[in-house]
Amino acid sequence: MSEEQRTYGIIGGGAIGWSVAYQLARTRRDSRESIIVFDAPMRGASSWAGAGMLPPAAQVMSPDPLEMLQQISRAAMPEWSAELKQVSGIDNEFHVCGGVYVARTAGEQASLIGLQQFWQEVGIEGRTVDQNRWARQYPWFATQMPWDTCRLLLEVPDEAQLRNPRHLAALRSACQKMGVETRLLDVDQAALLMLATDEDKHMAIDWGTEERWRCEQFVLAAGSWTSRLLQRWFGELHGSAAVYPIKGEMLLFKSPAPLFTAILNTGTRYIVPRLDGHILVGSTEQEAGYCGEPTAAGQAQLLEFVEQTLPSLLKLELVQHWAGLRPASFDQMPIIGRLGDRPELIVASGHFRSGLQWSIGTALCVAALLRNETPPIDLRVFQPSR
């Protein structure tokens, strides 16, 4: 069996894995550092399936590690987007488009009031929209949702978005141009993927072929498949290292021209306009195991949401319907840190609906751990053993 040696091996080619690879490549100080990403096109991978929404971050310093993860990630996104465009030639269409939050039920109103109070505490601008502003500033929304059907309306100027498939493509292209290797595995090879400690007490990876890759350190960023791999490699898991998939389904409509610019949020659902007239509608939540297939029931739920919210969208062409598997942890906190008695392996998963939002902060932390530097965030609350 042939064996290749690299410094860092990253298992998983989603927003987290490629962001880690990019951070390592852009801060490489030693030309001897080598980076390889092991990627497999798993159906339902959430990084490609999401809407690319980037909510605003707190404007005041917070001791909360989760808030810090959001702050670091959002603050760095404009710079990363510009860098990625320059290096890869791919525009991820990052832009601050603003967001509108609508409460139409008593429960949504109570939740939105609480969210507004939190925004005020952390310096996020969330303005109440009155009837005149609703009609003047958001005329297309106002024709679909008359003022008297809304209990509370808030606008958040700093809400942003990017096109996540283009962002992933830009990350991958930039990494490859900066010397990051890629080993693309098909689904059958991914099913055989093994990571084990070799005779020299180094971790090595193979997938049932004559190839073996030994790396000084590995990063497991396999999203919803994280726990499945860990169980295969090390046996039964205990504690919060477990990650389970939550399926979310989405619809994509196409308008001949953009109809509105702000993201519309209502409850846990949203409608996101792209610059070219595409409009995303999402999303459902369902525990469905590893089934990444969209369903008729999921489509019906989303169409009903559209009919109750912006019914004119139903006149547009329905371009696509798909599903993604979000990696959730038991406490809805990401898992970032070394795995117990296997210090050569760092887990970076469990980001649920916020993988893209927190990808840069996670990458900065993981890159620091790999180089034995102090991460910008206290990671104790994110440890796999918490």
8 Å CB contact between 69 and 358: yes
71 and 30 belong to one structural domain: yes
Partners of 342 in the beta sheet?
339
Q: How does residue 202 score in pLDDT terms, banded at 50, 70 and 90? A: confident
Question: What CATH number is associated with residue 116?
Answer: 3.30.9.10
* Across 92-120, average pLDDT: 96
322 shares its domain with 342: no
**pLDDT tens digits along 149-186:** 999 999 999 999 999 999 999 999 999 999 999 999 98
Domain carrying residue 82: 2-91+164-243+330-382
Q: How confident is the model at residue 207 (pLDDT cuts 50, 70, 90)?
A: confident
Cα dihedral: 361, 363, 367, 368 (round 10): 10
Average pLDDT over residues 242-248: 93
Average pLDDT (316-330) is 95
CA–CA gap between residue 222 and residue 169 (Å, rounded): 17
- Residues 214 and 310 reside in one and the same domain: no
pLDDT of residue 385: 84
Predicted confidence at residue 199, as pLDDT, reads 67
% of the chain residues with pLDDT over 90: 81
- Report, as an integer, the average pLDDT of 229-242: 77
Check residue 239 and give its pLDDT: 55
Q: Clarify whether residues 149 and 260 are in a common domain.
A: yes
Over 70: is that where the pLDDT of 200 sits?
Answer: no
* pLDDT score, position 31: 86
Give the per-residue SS3 of the chain: CEEEEEEEEEECCCHHHHHHHHHHHHCCCCCCCCEEEEECCCCCEHHHHCCCEECCCCCCCCCCHHHHHHHHHHHHHHHHHHHHHHHHCCCCCCEECCEEEEECCHHHHHHHHHHHHHHHHHCCCCEECCHHHHHHHCHHHHHHCCHHHCCEEEEECCCEECCHHHHHHHHHHHHHHCCCEEEECCHHHHHCCEEEECCCCCEEEECCCCEEEEEEEEEECCHHHHHHHHHHHHCCCCHHHCCEEEEEEEEEEECCCCCCCCEEEECCEEEEECCCCEEEEECCCECCCCCCCCCHHHHHHHHHHHHHHCHHHHHCEEEEEEEEEEEECCCCCCEEEEECCEEEEEEEECCHHHCCCCHHHHHHHHHHHHCCCCCCCCCHHHCCCC
Same domain, 272 and 341: no
Q: Pick the more confident residue, 198 or 98.
A: 98
Q: Please check whether residues 13 and 87 belong to one and the same domain.
A: yes
Clarify whether residues 8 and 83 are in a common domain.
yes
The average pLDDT across 351-364 equals: 96
Q: Kindly state whether residues 28 and 78 are assigned to the same domain.
A: yes
Q: Are residues 194 and 258 in the same domain?
A: no
| Count of domains for the chain | 2
- The pLDDT confidence band at residue 241, using thresholds 50, 70 and 90, is low
pLDDT at 22: 98
Residue 235 clears pLDDT 70, i.e. is over it: yes
Distance CA 376, CA 362 (A): 10
318 pLDDT higher than 90: yes
User: Are residues 135 and 216 both part of a single domain?
Assistant: no
Question: Quick check: 201 pLDDT over 70?
Answer: no
Range in 70-74, 147-151, 208-212, 313-317 the model is least confident about? 208-212
pLDDT at 237: 66
Does residue 238 surpass a pLDDT of 60?
no
Q: At residue 1, does pLDDT exceed 80? A: no
Q: What confidence score (pLDDT) does residue 38 get?
A: 97
Does the pLDDT of residue 240 top 70, yes or no? no
**How far is Cα 227 from Cα 242, in angstroms, rounded to an integer?**
5
Mean pLDDT of 208-214: 85
Beta strand 269-273 pairing with 53-54: unpaired
Residue 44: pLDDT over 80? no
CB atoms within 10 A of CB 276: 11
For residue 379, give the amino acid letter.
L
The yes-or-no verdict on residue 354 having pLDDT over 80 is yes
Question: Can you tell me the distance from the alpha carbon of 26 to that of 179, in angstroms, rounded to the nearest whole number?
Answer: 10
Token output for 326: 């979000």
pLDDT tens string 54-88: 999 999 888 899 999 999 999 999 999 999 999 99
Kindly state whether residues 299 and 345 are assigned to the same domain.
no
Q: Are residues 234 and 334 both part of a single domain?
A: yes
CATH of the domain at 36: 3.50.50.60
Q: What is the mean pLDDT of the chain?
A: 93
| pLDDT at residue 43 tops 80 | no
